[in-house]
Amino acid sequence: MGEKSFFAFKRSRRQSKKKAGPSLPYPLPPPPPLRATSPPQAGENGGAVSVVKGKKKAGGARLWMRFDRFGNSELVECDKNAILKRVAIPARDLRILGPVFSHSSSILAREKAMVVNLEFIRALVTAEEVLILDPLKQEVLQFVDQLRLQLRLKAPLQIEEAGHADGQDNGRRVASDAHLPTPEAADGEQPELPFEFQVLEIALEVVCSYLDSSVADLERDAYPILDELARNVSTKNLEHVRSLKSNLTRLLARVQKVRDEIEHLLDDNEDMADLYLTRKWIQSQQSEVLLGSFASNSITLAATAQVPLLGRSASHATGSSVEDADDDIEDLEMLLEAYFMQLDGTRNKILSVREYIDDTEDYVNIQLDNQRNELIQLQLTLTIASFAVAVETLIASVFGMNIPCTLYDIEGIFGYVVGGSTAGSFLLFFMVLGYARWKKLLGS
């Protein structure tokens, strides 16, 4: 009698859970509650947002923003242990979201969550919600707004599909469609991506747009500075180019990190399959349903005859899940390839700017080399002239000595000596200069 009342109580609880709230095409368990700092208030777009008061935070507590699949949001303040229990990730993954790895890029798949660290976006994504770290930063606000807008646009469609699914036979749906990670699309329509892929798509879109705008600003500032340097090589212009090259190197490294992370995912099908959190959750639900059915039927004698059938059903469901996994990997691969190509185009823009900087530097170096050569030629010419003048000075110093000489008694000899020595100096100058030109030491 006690066992019958217990099973009746469990059936009544299942029926009450099915009737409560709008149901999805596949059921999701309610998330464990998070401690909010204050009662939720209405946000800008109608979402529930909790206002955090300016009081002292608890030890290790950080500010997070939680989004569910319908776009509802709230600000919560949680410590490290609460987050680890909620999303079931190791502590080292949570350290990736810390300030030490603020400019690193990583997309890690875990059993029940996805760790996303892309530029300024640091989030933990599950099959039913996303937790965003430091949501009040200026850069993160764009991601928060896009997430709220996109999820609210897709929420009515999900509710409508959920209501349509309630009219069908639940037992037959679990037996036939439970292995599907997403609801089937109508004829000619694109199937809807799972919740975690929607969040990842929005994050990649925001990051790629931010990097592309940064590259556009860099291009707008770079070309005038480089043109000015080509016209006038000065210390001020060289300092501007040095600062420009530093910004370009940092921006290229940031783009390269995101691009390499996406390329790493595209090269590994297992990592892409692990990112499908919704499928893993549904497969775990399938196992629980099959195990529960086996446990309930094991009381009767007919259970032993149904064990092979159960094994065949489980293997059939697993095979279907593998086939769907290949299709879903293809969907994720197409998603990642689109943003990989966008990041590759952004990288090519940065490389084109760097090539322009290198060309300008080469042009400036050629100009400086030409000026250096002209200075060397001028110095060589002055050296030849100094040599010719030194010869004439030598002649003048010889005649300036107080040594008795018969030439001193000749009338008008001074003019001839000065004129002859000067003419000889000019002749010597032009002879050495011609020799230098003949050896191509001087330009024509």
Backbone angles phi, psi at 167, to 5 degrees: -80, -10
DSSP state of 30: P
Question: Which residue type occupies 51?
Answer: V
- pLDDT for residue 22 is more than 70: no
Percent of the chain past pLDDT 90, that is, above it, reads 31
- pLDDT for residue 161 is more than 70: no
The pLDDT of residue 412 is 77
- The CA distances from residue 275 to 122, 164, 332, 350, in Å, are 16, 28, 9, 31
- pLDDT for residue 175 is more than 50: no
- pLDDT for residue 27 is more than 80: no
- CB atoms under 10 Å from CB of 332, counted, come to 24
- pLDDT by residue (tens digit) across 92-118? 888 888 776 666 788 988 888 889 999
- pLDDT for residue 174 is more than 50: no
Percent of the chain past pLDDT 70, that is, above it, reads 68
- Closest CA relative to residue 183, chosen from 200, 168, 165: 165
Average confidence (pLDDT) over 21-43: 45
- pLDDT by residue (tens digit) across 318-328? 444 444 555 55
In this structure, the strands spanning 121-125 and 114-118 are antiparallel
Q: List all residues 6 or more positions away from 240 whose beta carbon is below 8 Å from its beta carbon.
A: 225, 228, 229
- pLDDT by residue (tens digit) across 292-351? 666 565 554 344 444 343 343 334 444 444 445 555 578 888 999 999 999 999 999 999
Task: Calculate the average pLDDT of the chain.
Answer: 75
The pLDDT of residue 157 is 53
Host H or E run for residue 26: none
What number of residues does the chain have? 444
Q: List all residues 6 or more positions away from 69 whose beta carbon is below 8 Å from its beta carbon.
A: 24, 128, 129, 151, 155, 158, 195
- pLDDT by residue (tens digit) across 386-427? 999 999 898 888 877 777 777 777 777 778 888 888 898 999
At residue 210's C-alpha, the angle toward residues 205 and 212, to 5°, is 95
Ramachandran region of residue 293, left (φ > 0), alpha (ψ -120 to 50) or beta?
alpha
